[in-house]
Structure formats: C-alpha cells, structure tokens
Structure 1
Amino acid sequence: MSGALDLVSPANRKQEEKLSFPAEFANTFGPLACLAGSNDDLFALAQGIGAVQPRLYITCKAENFFYEDNKHFVQTFSGRLNITYEELSGSHACCSDGKAV
C-alpha cells in the first residue's frame, strides 16, 4: 500500500539526480550498484517466481512519488501474477483517509 515495488528505478534516479538521501538506500539495501537482481529487487524476484504464486493486492495514489514505478510493476506482471490493483487519488499518505484499508 503505497510502497515501492521497483527499488532499482528510484535508486538509479537518486544517483543521477544527486538527491540528498541516497544513504538511506545504501544503509538499507547495501551498495546501490548491487541492488538490481538482488533479493531486494522485486522485478528480479517476480521474474523467477514458480508455480506457487502469492496473491498481490497493490494500491497506490496517483500523486505518490512511487506511482509510475508501481504502475510499471503492475503492467509488467499483471498477466503473469495474481494482482489486484487499485488506484486512488491523492499523495503518499496512504492510510490517512482509510479508503484502501
């Protein structure tokens, strides 16, 4: 719910844009160069998923800074994974209005 499904894209943007908090990614996931293809890369994990698949409920608000990355995940895997996707209006404060809960 309003989380980041694609960590590689924002990590790459952080490196390119020189944003002020790339250390948060490095402290959590290790060196940014090692993120793609790791166990923290949901795209890589979803590519290798077997016959037993989780059911995924994904919701993201349209003004959320993860919106495009999350939409890309849903579009990439909606034909291969059991995804229920709900899009709401608003920003990152996912649970403040209770609509997705």
Structure 2
Amino acid sequence: MGNEYNDKEKILEKKYSDKQSKLNVEICNLRTEYNSVKRELESLTAEVIIKHYDFSDYDGLASEECKNKLTLLKNEEKDLIKNNNALSITSNGSPPLSG
C-alpha cells in the first residue's frame, strides 16, 4: 500500500510541476504582451500630444486670426465637454479613471 501511495504522490507532483511550468510560461507571455501594449500606448499617447501641439497649423496666421481660431477651439472644447465627448489626458502616462 505504501508503494501505491508513493506512486500516486509522484504522479500528482509531476502533474503539479507540469501545470506550474505551463502557468509560468503563460505568465511570461502575458508580461511580454503587456509590455508591448504598454509601449504602444506610450507611443500613441506621445503622438497625440505631439499632434495636439502642432504649431505648424498656425503658420501664416495673423494675430486676429489666431484669436478667432482660439475662440473657435474653445467653443469646440466646451461643446465636447457638454456632450460628454471630451477625453481626459494625464501628463504622467496613466490612463484616466473612468466614472
């Protein structure tokens, strides 16, 4: 009976070890995927910020035209906020809290 118990224990230990190895590989793969997605998010966030501050859009505009453009942009921003279509972007790279 002792050998039968030892055999079952070894089988269970082997199954546990195999399962643990598979889970470790899966965890490693998920971490790699997470890091890849995180880098992509950081890159896209940087692109959005760069595009947001693209001053070449204002080349050749006179002072009064800049004031008019700024007023239009402020009105557009107010409309987006009022209609819940605005985005909240943080400067530390963390996604905004939903709610």
TM-score bracket for this pair, using the shorter chain length: under 0.3
Report which of the two has the higher share of strand: 1
Report which of the two has the higher share of helix: 2
Task: Choose 1 or 2 for highest CA Rg.
Answer: 2
**TM-score (normalised: structure 2):** 0.26
Q: Work out which structure has the larger RCO, using CA pairs closer than 8 Å and 6 or more positions apart in sequence.
A: 1
